[in-house]
Amino acid sequence: MEVLTAEQMSIADKKTIEELKVPSIVLMENAARSVFGVFTKLKISKNNIAVVIGKGNNGGDGLALCRYLLDYGYNVRIYMLTDKDSLRGDPLINHNILTKYPAKIIYLNKNSFKEADFTNYDVIFDAVFGTGLNKPVEGFFKEVIKSINLSGATIIAIDIPSGLSGSTFNIIGEHVKADYTVTFCRPKTSHVMYPARKFCGKIYVTDISIPDFVVNETKSRMSLITLDNLPHLKLRATDSHKGNFGHAVIIGGSIGKTGAPIMSSMAAARIGAGLTTCIIPGKLNSIFESNLLEAMSFPAGDDYYFKEEDVSVVLKFLENKNVVAIGPGIGRNEDTQLFIKKILSLNNIPLIIDADGLYKIDKNILESGLLSNRTVITPHIGEFARLIGRDKNEVLNNRLALAEDFACKYQIILVLKSSDTIIATPYGKILVNIEGSPALAKGGSGDCLTGLITGLISQGYSLEDAAVLACFIMGRTAKILASKHNENTILTTDVINNLWMSLNEIRAYQQEPQRYRKNCPIAI
């Protein structure tokens, strides 16, 4: 599912109206009808309803919605934050129709808005600004938004909570804090990425008759990962054997951090690698072997950490292997970091680099091309900030652009881990995964993800497809578990041992998509 900026959505609107000759008022009517459809299905108190209207098309959507609410007998009061003379086009048409209804319309301005008591309503619809806002809300409108937020009502935003911008995930000023948002055609940037996403509540994406081919013409490079666009899971032939599914290798471990490569190896095995081997410092080998039966181990050296002198034996072992991940629990010992650099530079098989495997990667390594066209890296925000030499807050505020630039410049698949994980590809495509749970906010999640990506690549998935599937599968599994158990208690090993839950769901959907695909609206 494409994610659009406000500008791209405007292009889609314009093409539909001007080239396909769909009247704009039809799109407005469809938008209002879709909001009403979502509203009727919500299990909330609906006795007293307020609709707060601005002067633009978002306000027009709200005015059209009011007719549906009134037609179906709801008790509605309409608050206009503009006078009739300021309305134009479709919003004016819908306003004029409402004036012929027995509707309670109240016109508010900076002198009279305090007369509105929003605390008396069960539901407040926000139809003030829409997606096009690009500067902070001020004055009268700011005070109205504050009043809406303090009302205690269930707040339903039409298209986007007023005060947020459709083209950025950053907070630009005072804004509505919605419980639900109903948006049209496709989600916008602010719907899928934090911090803006936090204030959209549960989001529904509805169809208003803008065709897919028109959306394609917006040339959006950003997509939300959903069941509809996941890479297809490969079916195993009935005469398969372990050699058909590759040999995945994990390099990791140091004193006190043996659990990390164990979890990565578990994840690689669980996701279906034919063979999984963990290369581990010699003195930690017995710990690994006593904790994981399904994976093999290859002890390297005679210490609790890797040394530069261990490189030759490891490189020999890596010959003819399908994929290698390096980093889980590997530590920052200076000798270990030299070991990592040599391993990266002296082999040419597909690579996944995570955690401390990234610690000493610098501009020289990146620009050398050693990692290009064969590498997935999986940093969290702090690790990525260090990698590119930027402040962490700067990365948070500009992570989409920085991720895209990095992946294209160095021809590397970047998996930038966060609550909204970004997968940036070398050709400028951005995929966002929001499937997940706070249950993953604990040590070991990154090790699991590394193992999943490694295990999928070993089975023949491309680097991009493996990264996309791994992020979605891990997040979806955690989400399912969190619906059944207290999310505080869910361990990374619980996620690994229950991967079948999300895999079965994905398989069922991909085999019979029409059976499992829900009618619009799509909840995200």
Would 406 be classed as within a structural domain?
yes
213 and 247 share a domain? no
Q: What tens digit of pLDDT does each residue of 144-201 get? A: 999 999 999 999 999 999 999 999 999 999 999 999 999 999 999 999 999 999 999 9
Give the containing element (helix H, strand E) for 58: helix 57-71
Q: What tens digit of pLDDT does each residue of 56-95 get? A: 999 999 999 999 999 999 999 999 999 888 999 999 999 9
Would 474 be classed as within a structural domain?
yes
258 and 379 share a domain? yes
Q: 185, 218, 251 — which closes off a domain?
A: 218
Q: How many domains does the chain have?
A: 2
pLDDT at 115: 67
Residue 392, φ and ψ in degrees, nearest 5: -60, -40
Task: Please name the residues in contact with 215: beta carbons below 8 A apart, sequence gap of 6 or more.
Answer: 2, 4, 12, 185, 186
Q: State yes or no: pLDDT of 521 exceeds 70.
A: no
Q: State yes or no: pLDDT of 280 exceeds 60.
A: yes
The domain of 180 spans: 6-218
CATH number of residue 283's parent domain: 3.40.1190.20
CA-wise closest residue to 185 among 205, 167, 165:
205
362 and 304 share a domain? yes
Would 420 be classed as within a structural domain?
yes
Q: How large is the average pLDDT for residues 8-22?
A: 97
Would 237 be classed as within a structural domain?
no
Q: pLDDT class for 512, splitting at 50, 70, 90?
A: confident
CATH number of residue 164's parent domain: 3.40.50.10260
Q: 184, 218, 252 — which closes off a domain?
A: 218
Q: State yes or no: pLDDT of 471 exceeds 90.
A: yes
Q: What is the mean pLDDT of the chain?
A: 95
Sign of CA dihedral 291, 293, 296, 298: positive
399 and 451 share a domain? yes
Q: What tens digit of pLDDT does each residue of 426-462 get? A: 999 999 999 999 999 999 999 999 999 999 999 999 9
209 and 341 share a domain? no
279 and 136 share a domain? no
Q: What tens digit of pLDDT does each residue of 309-349 get? A: 999 999 999 999 999 999 999 999 999 999 999 999 999 99
147 and 43 share a domain? yes
Would 369 be classed as within a structural domain?
yes
d(CA 504, CA 399): 33
pLDDT at 112: 80
521: preceding bond cis by omega (within 30 degrees):
yes
Q: How large is the average pLDDT for residues 497-508?
A: 96
Would 115 be classed as within a structural domain?
yes
Q: 156, 184, 218 — which closes off a domain?
A: 218
Q: pLDDT class for 513, splitting at 50, 70, 90?
A: confident
